[in-house]
Amino acid sequence: MWTVEDHRRTDASHPAKWLEPDERATWLALAGVLEMLPGALDGQLQRDAGLTFFEYMVLAMLSEQPDRTLRMSRLAAVTNGSLSRLSHVATRLEKQGYLRRLASEQDRRATDAVLTDKGWEKVVATAPGHVEWVRSLVIDPLTPAQQGQLRSIGERIVSAIDPHGNRLPVGSPAG
């Protein structure tokens, strides 16, 4: 069996700070969440609403805006997706009548995504089941202290991934 120690001995030209056993266990726990949670969220939303998690997040982020409108670039940032991915999803959501894209009134070079009344109704119908599922998978298994720790940990990891804050939440000062 190949071990980390074997790799340390055979690759001295590329020294790495290998994970200690506790660090490795932490990483593997997070990797399990990263692999399993998206499928669990997608599965519930597909089954109950015919939406992917990303599609739901697009609709939900728009629903939280006073005018149900966000610039496409900002919507991509707050949903943690690329502009290209968002464009493809927006096309599907437009075909279903859930959103429409318009030239921005502030900058005609930009495009705004607008949640339609039908899209609003979809979010209102979908949100209770989704929130219940999120609660059962992520919130309820944790104590309030652990929830705070998870939030803090998530914010620190996101900050390391995105040090310039391009993925700030909608309600943040830069939103």
Residues 62-121 have pLDDT tens digits of 999 999 999 999 999 999 899 999 999 999 999 999 999 999 988 888 999 999 999 999
Strand duo 111-115 + 69-71: pairing: antiparallel
Residues 7-49 have pLDDT tens digits of 555 566 778 899 999 999 999 999 999 999 999 999 999 999 9
Q: How far is CA 161 from CA 82, 157, 158, in A?
A: 15, 6, 5
Contact 158, 167 (CB under 8 A): yes
Contact 130, 45 (CB under 8 A): yes
Q: What domains, with CATH codes, occur in the chain? A: 41-161 (1.10.10.10)
Q: What is the pTM of this model?
A: 0.82
The CA-based dihedral angle spanning residues 90, 161, 64, 100, taken in that order and rounded to the nearest 10 degrees? -10
The CA-based dihedral angle spanning residues 146, 147, 152, 155, taken in that order and rounded to the nearest 10 degrees? 140
Distance from C-alpha of 16 to C-alpha of 88, rounded to nearest angstrom: 39
Question: What pLDDT is stored for residue 107 in this prediction?
Answer: 87
Look up tokens 């030209």; give the residue: 13
Residue 161, classified by CB atoms within 10 Å of its CB into exposed (0-12), middle (13-18) or buried (19+), is exposed
pLDDT bucket at 171, cuts 50 / 70 / 90:
very low
